[in-house]
Amino acid sequence: MTGETTPIGSIHVSPRAVATIAYQAALESYGVVGLAPKNLINNLTNVLVKDPTQGVEVQYDGENIIINMYIVIEYGTRIKSVARSVANTVRYHVEKALGMPVNQVNIHVSGLRISNLD
């Protein structure tokens, strides 16, 4: 995906590595209870193999980094606020790790979950 050439060699970062960074950043965000696969086939695959990039799609065309995330939000939180916070947190962590700008972080709310019934 991203590449840089130095006097001692080349550095390449795969989209999967970027997706893992985004996944971890999203899970640490307030109001997020999980990430969801973007379609049923991915959901069935994830039952068999736990994927640390589930719900994250990274596109890189040589210049632009676009991240699409499919999240599940805690019921009772402000959806718009949580989505904005996740987008900002993901952008910050990925830019900090890569040292290059992220052009878009698109948040898709796939569902709501009630986690605590006390």
pLDDT of 110 above 80: yes
Q: What percent of the chain has pLDDT over 70?
A: 83
Q: What percent of the chain has pLDDT over 90?
A: 56
- State phi, psi for 50 to the nearest 5 degrees: -70, 120
Domain spans of the chain, in order of start: 2-113
* pLDDT tens-digit map of 34-90: 888 876 555 554 544 566 778 999 999 888 999 999 999 999 999 999 999 999 999
Whether the Cβ atoms of residue 58 and residue 22 lie closer than 8 Å to each other: yes
> Which of the following CATH numbers is that of domain 2-113: 3.30.70.1350, 3.50.50.60, 3.30.499.10, 3.30.43.10?
3.30.70.1350
Specify the length of the chain in residues. Answer: 118
